[in-house]
Amino acid sequence: MSDRQITYLTDALIITCIVQASHADNVVKAAQNVGAQGATVTYARGTGVRERMGLMGVTIDEQKEMVRIIVSQEQSDRVFEAMYLAGELDKPGMGIMFMNKLDRIATYIPDEVLAEAAAPKAKPKPKAKAKAKIVPKKRKTATRRPAKKASK
């Protein structure tokens, strides 16, 4: 048997963004600015109703770029939003994007990173409590009133 093993990563998603040609660089930069580590860009050709009709009489280019980025669950919303805005997907005919959960991912992970992830997290040391200075309260001196005699 070999010493080699596979380390699976979980809790990850893949974001796929299909944009007009020449917009992928902006999308990738925006994703990296908010924490994404890398991206895969491929070229594609799109078809659909808009290509035949044109949007408001303007023909839409069928050349597309597809950006795929794998992100952790924690990063996913932030990266998705940044990519959406950078790709100008809030404008008609600019593209589409979607996100899918990944069951598992396997890639090379340095031993130091694995060791750090496997190490038990140290509990933070409690801060030394400041000693409270106890100041006795001054007692109010009550004035005594003579008791009333009960009437018969």
CATH code matching the domain that covers 15-107, chosen among 3.30.70.120, 1.20.120.350, 3.40.50.720, 3.40.50.300: 3.30.70.120
pLDDT given at position 57 = 58
Task: Give the three-state DSSP class for 80.
Answer: helix
The CA distance from 90 to 52, in Å, is 21
Residue 84 Cα to chain centre, angstroms: 14
Write the pLDDT tens digit of every residue in 2-15.
788 888 888 999 99
Grade residue 102 by pLDDT with cuts at 50, 70 and 90: very high
Mean pLDDT of 49-60: 56
User: pLDDT digits over 57-93, tens only?
Assistant: 555 568 899 999 999 999 999 999 999 999 999 998 8
The runs of H, that is alpha helices, within the chain are 24-33, 49-53, 73-86, 111-118
How many whole angstroms separate alpha carbon 103 and alpha carbon 105? 7
- pLDDT-based confidence at residue 144 (cuts at 50, 70, 90): low
